[in-house]
Amino acid sequence: MFLSQSFPFLLLRNPILGLFHHLTCCIDVLSSF
């Protein structure tokens, strides 16, 4: 919940960090299958 709300803020501060966070979420979802 907190990460979802702060995601836009992180993306504005550091696009690379935001991209890494997005990739981590995608990997998390894929690994759940």
Question: For 1-33, how does the pLDDT look when each residue is reduced to its tens digit (9 = 90+)?
Answer: 455 566 666 556 777 777 787 888 878 888 887
| pLDDT score of 4 | 58
Q: How many domains does the chain have?
A: 1
Domain that holds residue 19: 2-32
| pLDDT score of 15 | 73
DSSP one-letter string for 1-33 = -HHHHHHHHHHHH-HHHHHHHHHHHHHHHHHH-
pTM greater than the 0.85 cutoff: no
